[in-house]
Amino acid sequence: MSRLIAMAHGFWFVTLILTALALVAGGANAQQRVTIGIVTAMTGPLAAPGKFQLNGFRLAEEEINQAGGIAAGGTKHLVELKVYDTRGNAAEGASAMQRLASVDNVPVVLGEVLAGAAAAEAPIAQDNGLPFILTVSTAPNLTEQGNPFLFRVNAHNDHLTVALADFVAKQGWGPVAFIAWNNDTGRNGVNGMRKLLGPQKMGYVGYFNTGDVDFSSHVTNIRTSRAQAVMLLMDEEPGSLAIKQIRDAGLKAHLIGTLAMGSDRFLKRLDAAKLDGMVQYNAFPPNVEVPRIKNFAQRYKAKFGEEAHGFAAQSYDGLMVVAAAMKNAGTVNDRKKIRDALASIRHDGVIGAIQFDKTGQANPPVYVTQWCSDGRRRVIHPDSMKADCGAG
């Protein structure tokens, strides 16, 4: 009997050793992971652009992981996103950035929709030596603060308005009226157009707060000013309301919009007749016959069931730039080495070539698109990319 007990004990001990060895071997071969921080607006008045931003990050995350992960330091690392909903609010953004930096201890953070939130987050990232990559916010001053840990993938307001102002000037439209966000993004947009058009072309300028839905006083002032064109520096939700109120009031002024107003999603908020002839700057016309654009647009639609959006394309490129920088740096954890790799990177993205200047700002291509009477769009700038309705 005692011999049977001893044999049983011996069998149990061998099994335990073999199990432990298997676990150790499995751990050694297990896929490593890296957590990357995301700050964006998932709820609140900026949830729509936040959704496109997060969609871009999610698609990049999926494709990186399907390819085996980020290869750095002789190991491949799967990507996991740690997402915080800042609602585009500065205080909530600052809190999220502090948590990502000191509690979650992520090596890099991407995102943010509103410039005010980004402005509150960036100094915290700098204080913690944490690379922070913007993919939607457009206020020029964000990359003019001497923050070596802040980078921006997308074009800022001054870049965006150059092509648009040139088009407006060639049309001879003037005066040009404005309805703009009452924040840095809106005011910088107005100031940028003022510099480019000249004060003699400037008409009525009115500002509105996030959440405002009644633009009737602005419409009255635009009518009084006899403006030939109206530029709407706002997102898709207030933009659709403003356009409807302008057209319902019988104003025939030319409409000028932003990237948020150049998508099929925006068309669903209005009818084609109200948008006919409207122009807007665009970072990613999804129907252009350019392979990098067309391929991304197809992958995006397959995953999300809708037309690709510029905010998504910029954000996709942002995460892909991080993956490339980590590979070049040979680490997914060392914030300083990743920052240095970002500063010297040259990445061919879906929005175009991404290379950061000494301020951390990239300068991707900018387009101007125009709505056609049938609800499609065409590219009207640059001249080399001009295309008929259906290609915008």
pLDDT tens sequence across 161-190: 888 888 888 899 999 999 999 988 889 889
| Residue 26 pLDDT | 39
Q: Is residue 16's pLDDT more than 70?
A: no
- pTM across the whole model: 0.86
Tokens representing residue 316 in the block? 């996709």
| Residue 383 pLDDT | 86
Tokens representing residue 37 in the block? 């921080």
Q: Are residues 260 and 295 in the same domain?
A: no
- Is the residue at 108 inside a domain? yes
Boundaries of domain holding 342? 32-155+291-354
Q: Are residues 263 and 143 in the same domain?
A: no
Q: Is residue 360's pLDDT more than 70?
A: yes
Could you read off the pLDDT of 217-243 as tens digits, one per residue? 999 999 999 999 999 999 889 999 999
Neighbour tally for 2: CB within 10 Å: 6
Q: Are residues 243 and 115 in the same domain?
A: no
Q: Are residues 295 and 245 in the same domain?
A: no
Average pLDDT, the chain: 90
| Residue 3 pLDDT | 47
Q: Is residue 29's pLDDT more than 70?
A: no
Look at 158 and 340; give whichever has higher pLDDT. Answer: 340
With H, G, I as helix, E, B as strand and everything else as coil, classify residue 293: helix
- Is the residue at 19 inside a domain? no
- Is the residue at 76 inside a domain? yes
- Is the residue at 306 inside a domain? yes
| Residue 15 pLDDT | 43
Instruction: Give mean pLDDT, residues 334-356.
Output: 97
Instruction: Give mean pLDDT, residues 193-202.
Output: 91
Sequence-ordered strand ranges (E) for 163-298: 176-181, 202-208, 229-233, 254-257, 279-282
Look at 4 and 74; give whichever has higher pLDDT. Answer: 74
Confidence of residue 30 (pLDDT cuts 50, 70, 90): low
Q: Are residues 334 and 214 in the same domain?
A: no
**Cα separation, 339 vs 129, whole angstroms:** 9
